[in-house]
């Protein structure tokens, strides 16, 4: 379970997250929607400790992410993350991209790490691209590579930060299908997205972010069908 309590995050004077409360139970898929700059990416960075926080608390299975003694390197192995920007390691083939962390972080042998990598690349539909360098992959393939790379650490949670926002429209579907596949397999996920139809399909809950606060959270039918908040209504009217 990921439990976020009264989370505060600022960059200098800019308050980006202003008292976020959010709980993600095992097996749940929570989508986060909201305008650009509302703090969605920042929240994910805070959840796996890439950014420091100024107040509140984030616990992952009872471990306080930002406590002094927390071994972040160990904790992050359980929190897979896929970023908005494509960031495959350009100097490594697809297989090496995925095999690297299992080998140097999990300590698997070279052969085992490659086996794990191949399995995950097949999983995301890149079984025929093992020896290809990222520069030869489309954006959609690069994002699926990033998903495979995260999965190879066998995480308990996956955090997706607008994995499709930098993609050409025709490539969005293949990435969403991969995320949907993970949802069907029971992966616990926080999915930041601006694909409203996808969020409606795949989520157990949808949270609408507005200026660093959770304006409204509820089942997809509530958020997309009958939102309680005027702000949510206005946002959805704009993006549809």
Partner 1 sequence: MGSGGVQFFFEFTERDLLILAEGAKLTLIISSLAIVGGTILGGLFGWLLSIGGRVGAITLGWVLDIFRSVPPIVQLVLFVNFFPIIGFPLDAAEAGTLVLMMYCSALVAQVARAGIEAVPKTTRWAGRSLGMSYWQDLRYVVLPIGLRAVLPSWTGVALGVLKDSALVSVLKAGELMQVSQEMITRTQQPFLILGIAGLFYFALSFPIARLTEHLERRWQHD
Ligand X SMILES: Nc1ncnc2c1ncn2[C@@H]1O[C@H](COP(=O)(O)OP(=O)(O)OP(=O)(O)O)[C@@H](O)[C@H]1O
| Site residues, ligand X (CB under 6 A) | 11, 14, 16, 34, 36-42, 84, 162
Q: Closest by alpha carbon to 93, among 145, 41, 163?
A: 145
* Residue with Cβ nearer partner 1 (23 or 84): 84
How many residues are recorded in the chain? 240
Structure tokens at 122: 């097949």
Least Å distance between CB 229 and partner 1?
Answer: 32
Least Å distance between CB 44 and ligand X?
Answer: 8
Least Å distance between CB 14 and ligand X?
Answer: 6
Least Å distance between CB 175 and partner 1?
Answer: 16
For residue 37, the partner it binds in partner 1, Mg ion, ligand X, none, with Cβ less than 5 to 8 A by kind, is ligand X
Give the contact letters, 41-80, x = binds to Mg ion (CB under 5 A), - = no. x---------------------------------------
Structure tokens at 87: 């960031």
Quick one: which segment of 36-44, 49-57, 145-153, 209-217 binds Mg ion (CB under 5 A)? 36-44
Q: What is the C-alpha separation between 25 and 165, in angstroms, rounded?
A: 26
Least Å distance between CB 146 and partner 1?
Answer: 7
Structure tokens at 54: 């100024």
For residue 52, the partner it binds in Mg ion, ligand X, partner 1, none, with Cβ less than 5 to 8 A by kind, is none
15 phi, psi to nearest 5 deg? -80, 110
Q: How far is CA 18 from CA 4, 38, 58, 63, 213, in A?
A: 12, 10, 14, 22, 6
Q: Verify binding: residue 97, Mg ion, rule CB under 5 A.
A: no
Looking only at the bridges linking them, the beta strands covering 63-64 and 79-82 are unpaired
Looking only at the bridges linking them, the beta strands covering 188-192 and 29-34 are parallel
């Amino acid at each position: 379970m990921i439990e976020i309590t009264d989370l505060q995050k600022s960059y200098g004077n800019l308050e980006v997250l202003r008292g976020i409360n959010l709980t993600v139970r095992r097996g749940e898929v929570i989508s986060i929607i909201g305008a650009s700059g509302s703090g969605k990416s920042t929240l994910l960075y805070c959840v796996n400790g890439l950014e420091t926080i100024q107040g509140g608390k984030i616990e992952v299975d009872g471990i306080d992410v930002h406590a002094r003694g927390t071994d972040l390197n160990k904790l992050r192995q359980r929190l897979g993350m896929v970023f908005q920007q494509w960031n495959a390691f350009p100097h490594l083939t697809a297989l090496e991209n995925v095999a690297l962390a299992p080998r140097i972080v999990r300590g698997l042998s070279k052969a085992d790490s490659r086996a794990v990598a191949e399995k995950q690349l097949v999983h995301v539909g890149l079984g025929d691209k093992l020896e290809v360098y990222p520069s030869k992959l489309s954006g959609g393939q690069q994002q699926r590579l990033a998903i495979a790379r995260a999965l190879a650490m066998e995480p308990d949670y996956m955090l997706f930060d607008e994995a499709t926002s930098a993609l050409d429209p025709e490539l969005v579907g293949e990435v969403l299908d991969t995320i949907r596949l993970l949802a069907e397999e029971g992966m616990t996920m926080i999915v930041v997205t601006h694909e409203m139809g996808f969020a409606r399909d795949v989520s157990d809950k949808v949270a609408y972010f507005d200026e660093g606060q959770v304006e409204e959270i509820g089942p997809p039918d509530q958020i997309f069908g009958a939102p309680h908040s005027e702000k949510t209504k206005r946002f959805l009217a704009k993006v549809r």
